[in-house]
Amino acid sequence: MRILTFILFILSFQISVAQSLPEITLEKSSYFFSDVAGEITITDPFVHDGVGLIYIDGEAYETYFADGKTTIEYIFEESGQQKIEILYLDKKFVSNINVIPLWLSILPPLLAIIMALIFKEVIIALVFGVFAGAATIGWYTEGFKGIGKGFLSVLDTYIINSLIDWGHGAIILFTFIIGGMVAIISKNGGMQGVVNLFAKKAQNPKGGMLTTWFLGLAIFFDDYANTLVVGNTMRPLTDKLKISREKLAYLVDSTAAPVAALAFITTWIGAELSYIQNGMDKIEGLAANESAYGIFFNSLAYSFYPIFTLFFMLWMILKQRDFGPMLKAEQKARTQEKNTEDSNDNEDNEFKIKAGVNPNIWFAVIPVFTVVIATAAGLYHTGSQGYTWSAELSFFRNLSAIVGNADSFYALLWGSITSLFVAVLMSILGKKLKLGETMETLVGGLKTMLPAIIILILAWALANVTEVMHTADFITGLLRENVSIILFPTLTFILAGAVSFATGSSWGTMAILYPLLLPASWKLGLDAGYEYAALIALFSNTAASVLCGSVFGDHCSPISDTTILSSIATNCNHINHVKTQMPYALTTGLVSIIFGSLASSIGLPPVLCFLLGFGAIVLIVLKFAKPISN
């Protein structure tokens, strides 16, 4: 009996030890997309660092283990449920993988855009787009049950992920704070003072539009700050001059990104240079001869769309002509008593001057000036951390490097909260508003921003869906084989526009396309026998085409965050803004393709391309745009 008990004890001990031993495990996603690399991770607790051999469906993959883990990227060419067999040492894994067709990734943004334009309800359109993506993934993983889970994940995954992103939170706070600050400087009479001053100089719609255009150029260092400051500052004046909210939104939106993309000292420059460097690093020997900054500088000669857009706006203002939906909006604004019929207008009470208060321009100028100065100081402070001033570089090159290295979100938050504090302090100490009135106005200003903030959050959620579903990979895959070198910059511009339009992110588009298309342009040039100077010209033209196409798609997309912010700042109905801006963006985009990308690719000097483009714009406006009847 004792012997039997001892044997049972030994057996149970061995079993428990065997159960407690670590095992080789496999981790993978519950779904893959066809033609896109997905990750398969194997954990071997007996290997810390070293090389391992893994067989997937009989094909050998040599991989490196780090801390007992290795990850292999595997691509399924077929969609549907695919069986996969993975062999590592004596451990065999057999799994069924749900592979989603990559072309389905275009449906969520496409459906959202179509619904928004048809039904003019952007919130429900964005929600439906997010749901379409989540339901597609759910259907391929769990069938009808997955569609139900996809409906729930709209809120618990995609919207929550949009909210917990630090950068998104900073933009939301910045927008709310600017809304509160604008409400206060409107209530205390500061904005009315600005309107009265500009009204002396800008006594007609042309003057009001020119003032808006010049302000858009002046605040060049950040597109978000440009949009919100210029839009909120100029709205009372343009309303008084009977300029439509749609025209104001267009002027604000179409100066902000082009100026920020072209200037040397902006919050864009750091991202642009890092993206270009990523592309250069894939070309052997190029980084030793060229710098990312040098390529960016060379690319300005091919940056046709932003420059044509700025000229197109200026020429339209000078001639006081419009066409398409914008012409109807402008004529309607000129003839109606109140210029707010189709706007997101919750502002009547919140942005009215307090009865009995005398307008004083300084109660608006000082807080707005504080936003600009404090944000610029924040950019310098965050960008100079860890940066050593180089004596070999010029002052502006050093300053550009600092701003490019800056954290714009911190700078925007610091600038907005400082300006709000100044506005509150001036209102109370200047005896314009009592403390209770100031706080009530502040809260009212925050409330006016809420509907547009909801749209912004949903747009980010949809962008999250397009990232998960590899929408950009699908669009990029359309441009891979048999591309003519002459057409390459043009196709790059179109592709960048399509990706930016579908994802609503110009920065995301640049991050995706620069590392792909810059090396491709270099290879095409080498295969065509180009000499080094011609290679650099093609490379710079491609870099400019990615940037310009990204801005172009951003201007056309109703789910773009900057397009939405322009609607917020000008208090314009978002769909009306998109419908009136798109024909103008398409016009300058077409001019950029014909007289810019194509013309420069066949050998025309960039200067001549610009002159031809300017001439085409002049003729288009004179031929198709009609004078605005007062």
Cα separation of 574 and 342, whole Å? 10
pLDDT score of 338: 58
Q: Is residue 452's pLDDT more than 70?
A: no
The tens digit of pLDDT for each residue in 379-430 reads 888 888 877 777 777 777 777 777 767 777 788 789 889 989 999 999 999 8
Contact at 8 Å (CB) between 93 and 77? no
Identify the residue with better confidence: 482 or 82: 82
Cα separation of 293 and 290, whole Å? 8
Write the DSSP symbol of residue 173.
Answer: H
The tens digit of pLDDT for each residue in 132-156 reads 999 999 998 888 898 999 999 999 9
Percent of the chain at pLDDT > 70 equals: 87
pLDDT score of 17: 41
**How far from 154 is each of 33, 129, 150, 171, 421, CA to CA, in Å?**
20, 10, 7, 21, 37
Structure confidence at residue 160 as a pLDDT band (50, 70, 90): very high
State the Cα torsion 273-276-277-280 to the nearest 10°: -160
Phi, psi of 529, rounded to the nearest 5 degrees: 80, 25
Average pLDDT over residues 215-219: 79
Q: Amino acid letter at 213?
A: W
Q: How many CA atoms lie within 13 A of 338 on its CB side?
A: 6
pLDDT score of 19: 46
Regarding beta strands 91-100 and 31-33, do their DSSP bridges make them parallel or antiparallel, or are they unpaired? parallel
Cα separation of 388 and 118, whole Å? 53
Strongest mean pLDDT among 163-177, 265-279, 320-334, 471-485: 320-334
pLDDT score of 244: 94
Average pLDDT over residues 479-496: 81
Strongest mean pLDDT among 260-269, 307-316, 344-353: 307-316
pLDDT score of 482: 60
The overall pTM is greater than 0.85? no
The tens digit of pLDDT for each residue in 197-213 reads 766 777 789 988 998 89
Closest CA to 597 of 522, 465, 504, 497: 497
Cα separation of 230 and 207, whole Å? 15
Contact at 8 Å (CB) between 110 and 502? yes
Contact at 8 Å (CB) between 114 and 555? no
pLDDT score of 269: 66
Domains, the chain: 22-100 (2.60.40.1930), 104-164 (no CATH), 168-324+355-627 (no CATH)
Q: Is residue 12's pLDDT more than 80?
A: no
Identify the residue with better confidence: 196 or 597: 597
Cα separation of 204 and 210, whole Å? 10
Q: Amino acid letter at 366?
A: I
Average pLDDT over residues 221-244: 81
Tokens 């072309």 sit at which residue?
Answer: 103
pLDDT score of 235: 87
pLDDT score of 218: 75
Q: Is residue 267's pLDDT more than 70?
A: no
Name the region of 80 (left: φ>0; alpha: ψ -120 to 50; beta: rest). left
Its sign, for the CA torsion 339, 345, 350, 355, is positive
**How far from 164 is each of 158, 167, 188, 410, 507, CA to CA, in Å?**
10, 9, 35, 16, 19
Strongest mean pLDDT among 51-60, 68-77, 342-351, 358-367: 358-367
Closest CA to 522 of 289, 192, 190: 289
Q: Is residue 546's pLDDT more than 80?
A: yes
Q: How many CA atoms lie within 13 A of 600 on its CB side?
A: 29
pLDDT score of 264: 63
Structure confidence at residue 96 as a pLDDT band (50, 70, 90): confident
Cα separation of 54 and 88, whole Å? 5
pLDDT score of 534: 87
Write the DSSP symbol of residue 103.
Answer: G
Cα separation of 567 and 220, whole Å? 19
Classified as helix, coil or strand, 276 is helix
Identify the residue with better confidence: 576 or 368: 576
**How far from 579 is each of 177, 346, 386, 582, CA to CA, in Å?**
28, 22, 45, 6
Structure confidence at residue 433 as a pLDDT band (50, 70, 90): confident
Q: Output the six-digit token pair for 425.
A: 């302090």
Strongest mean pLDDT among 215-229, 238-252, 272-286, 489-503: 238-252
Cα separation of 239 and 333, whole Å? 9
Phi, psi of 356, rounded to the nearest 5 degrees: 90, -5
Classified as helix, coil or strand, 76 is coil
Cα separation of 627 and 629, whole Å? 6
Average pLDDT over residues 114-130: 79
pLDDT score of 326: 95
Could you tell me how many residues make up the chain? 630
Closest CA to 169 of 468, 410, 372: 410
Structure confidence at residue 596 as a pLDDT band (50, 70, 90): very high
Write the DSSP symbol of residue 52.
Answer: E
Average pLDDT over residues 283-294: 72
Structure confidence at residue 323 as a pLDDT band (50, 70, 90): very high
The tens digit of pLDDT for each residue in 56-75 reads 777 787 777 777 788 888 88
Cα separation of 329 and 334, whole Å? 9
pLDDT score of 620: 96
Identify the residue with better confidence: 536 or 482: 536
Q: How many CA atoms lie within 13 A of 138 on its CB side?
A: 19
Average pLDDT, whole number, for the chain?
Answer: 82
